[in-house]
Amino acid sequence: MSHVSVQSVTVLGATGSIGKSTLDVIARHPERYRVYALTAHTSKEALLDQCKAHSPRFAVLDD
């Protein structure tokens, strides 16, 4: 049995389509990934919802 370490992931543009898809993959594989940080350009409410769902250590909004 091999040991798989959990990878910390920073998602740039988390509220965009690619960012949302990335977070979906991370959510389906909690044994492999955890969200370290999220960034968004202006989607404040969407970023807040993602923070509640994924509990990143950092979140950055460029508003």
Mean pLDDT, consecutive 10-residue stretches, the chain (63 aa), reads 86 98 98 98 97 98 87
Residue 46 CA, distance from chain mean position: 12
pTM of the model: 0.90
Q: State residue 24's pLDDT score.
A: 99
CATH numbers and ranges of domains, the chain: 7-61 (3.40.50.720)
Positive or negative torsion for Cα 49, 43, 16, 9: negative
CA distance 39 to 28: 20
Question: For residue 30, what are the contacts with CB-CB under 8 A and spacing of at least 6?
Answer: none
Q: State residue 40's pLDDT score.
A: 98
Q: State residue 2's pLDDT score.
A: 67
